[in-house]
Amino acid sequence: MEEEQEYLFKIVVIGDSAVGKSNLLSRFARDEFDHNSKATIGVEFQTQVVEIDGKEIKAQVWDTAGQERFRAVTSAYYRGAVGALTVYDISRSTTFENIKRWLDELNTHCDTTVARMLVGNKCDLENIRDVSVEDGKNLAEEEGLFFIETSALDSTNVKTAFEIVIREIYKNLS
């Protein structure tokens, strides 16, 4: 008799404070958006089931919950991660400039097989855009990451971002 295999993928979300990490997670897991950024502090992770190639996969997505200064994110946070979303805010270029430091952090704690995605969040704020799509694409290419722009506010590409990472993790298994 064949056992149904269980898939549980730990995915971490990293990036500067207020780029929208918690909201990406709540949009993905509960289809909710909080205008009050404090609302989700304290939540460690949320689990969402997605179906890939007829297989049920549990995505356990971890949120830094307010410890996003460099080095304040502990190794326990990264432990066992098989995917990572590295997030910046397209309306604040400093958050984009810090991506390299977040990738350094990720490399310190995880091996290179972790599926990585560069996420430019808040793409609904086109009128105050501070980082071009081109710059995002170029950095992703340089660093060997997938790239996507999202909006946790209007839902653009949120599900897709997580699904691309989950698919890549699944692909790496087989």
Which residues sit at the interface with ligand GDP, rule CB under 6 A?
A: 17-23, 35, 37, 121-122, 124-125, 151-153
Tokens representing 54?
């007829």
- Choose the one of Mg ion, ligand GDP, none that binds residue 124, judging by a C-beta under 5 to 8 angstroms depending on kind: ligand GDP
What whole-number distance in Å separates Cα of residue 28 and Cα of residue 142?
27
| Number of residues in contact with Mg ion under rule CB under 5 A | 2
Q: Is 95 in the site for Mg ion (CB under 5 A)?
A: no
**Pattern 11-30, binding to Mg ion, x per CB under 5 A?**
----------xx--------
Contact of residue 52 among ligand GDP, Mg ion, none (CB under 5-8 Å per partner type): none
Residue closer to ligand GDP, measured from CB, 35 or 71: 35
List of residues 6+ apart from 60 with CB closer than 8 A: 8, 9, 10, 11, 45, 46, 47
Give the start-end residues of each E strand in the chain: 7-15, 45-52, 55-63, 83-89, 115-121, 146-149
Give min distance, CB of 74 to ligand GDP, in A: 17
> What does the binding site for Mg ion look like in residue numbers (CB under 5 A)?
21-22
